[in-house]
Amino acid sequence: MPEGERLQKALAAAGLGSRRRCEAMIESGRVSVNGRTAALGDRVDVSRDRVCVDGVPVELEVTKRYYLLNKPAGYITTVKDTRGRATVMDLIHEEGRLFPVGRLDRDTRGLLLITNDGYLSHMLMHPSHGVEKTYVVRARGRLSARGLSRLRGGIPLEEGTTAEAKVKVLGQDAEGCLLEMTIHEGRKRQVRRMCAAVGLEVVDLVRTRFGPLDLKGVEEGSYRPLGEGEVRKLRDLGGGGP
C-alpha cells in the first residue's frame, strides 16, 4: 500500500477548500511538494513534507485555530519582543504556536486576528485581496471639507499615494473630531499618517472591523474563537482559500 496521505485529501483537511477544489489547484500547477510541482495522485507525509500553494508554505499536520482579540493599548503586535515589552500573545492563553495576522501599533486598540494558519494570514494581508479594515479615530484639529476630500481620494505618502478610503465625520467641535475610516491597505501607521497629512493629531485609534468581523461581545483585553461560518467568510476574502 502506498505510504502517506493523498495530497488533495491533506490539503482539504488543512482547510484549503473541498477535495475537488484542491484537485483543481494541483492540476493547475499551484501546489509543490518539497520544491517539486505536485501531480494529482501524489501522496505526502504531513509531518515531514514541505507543501506550498502559490509558493506559500502550508501546515498540513496542525489543526487550524482562529481567534478574535480585542487588543488594548500598550501591547506590541508580535509573538516575542526582544526588549521585553508586553505582546498581544501575553493575552492569549492557548497551547501551541499562534501568531497575529498583520499589525496594530502599540497604542492602537481593537480587532486583531490570532491564528496558526499561515496561508490564510498571508492571503488576508496580500494587497490584491483588499480586505477592508474600519477604524474609529479621535483626533485633535478641525477637519476641513478639503481635508475630508483628500482623505477619501488618496493621501501622498513616501511610498506612494494611498487608495481611496471611506471616511465619515461622526462628530466635530472646537477640540477636535471623531471619524470613521475604512481602508483596504496595510501600510505602516497608515491611518495616523493620513490624518497627519490633513493637520490632524490622532489621540485614540480603534480598529472596529476586519472584513466581516466586528468587536461585538468581546471586551477589551479579551478574545474568543471564531465560528466555522466566520472562518469560511475569511477564506472567501482570501480568494476562497486557495
CATH number where 190 lies:
3.30.70.1560
Predicted confidence at residue 240, as pLDDT, reads 55
Residues 88 and 150 in one domain: no
User: What's the predicted TM-score (pTM) here?
Assistant: 0.81
| Separation of alpha carbons 164 and 150, rounded Å | 9
Q: What is the CATH number of the domain that holds 31?
A: 3.10.290.10
Q: What angle do CA 95, 70, 137 make, to 5 degrees?
A: 150
Residues 121 and 229 in one domain: yes
Retrieve residue 207's grid coordinates. 480598529
Does the annotation count 105 as an active-site position? Answer: yes
Residue 242 counted as domain residue: no
Residues 150 and 203 in one domain: yes
Predicted confidence at residue 26, as pLDDT, reads 95
Residues 29 and 143 in one domain: no
Residues 144 and 201 in one domain: yes
Q: What domain range is 82 assigned to?
A: 66-127+213-237
Residues 84 and 15 in one domain: no
Predicted confidence at residue 242, as pLDDT, reads 45
How many C-beta atoms surround the C-beta of residue 219 within 10 A? 10
Yes or no: say if 110 and 215 are a contact pair by the CB < 8 Å rule: yes
Burial 18-36 (b: 16+ CB within 10 A, else e): eeeebbebbeeebbbbeee
Residues 153 and 90 in one domain: no
| Separation of alpha carbons 124 and 182, rounded Å | 16
Residues 46 and 158 in one domain: no
Pick the catalytic residue: 54, 81, 105, 214? 105
Residues 104, 106, 112, 114, CA torsion sign: positive
Residues 113 and 232 in one domain: yes
pLDDT tens, per residue, the chain with 242 residues: 357 889 998 888 787 777 888 999 999 999 999 999 999 989 999 888 999 999 999 888 778 899 999 999 999 999 989 899 999 999 999 988 899 999 999 999 999 999 988 888 888 988 888 899 999 999 999 999 999 999 999 999 999 999 999 999 999 998 899 999 999 998 899 999 999 999 999 999 999 999 999 999 999 999 999 999 999 999 888 665 44
Residue keyed to cell 477637519: 143
Structurally, the chain folds into a number of domains equal to: 3
Residues 218 and 123 in one domain: yes
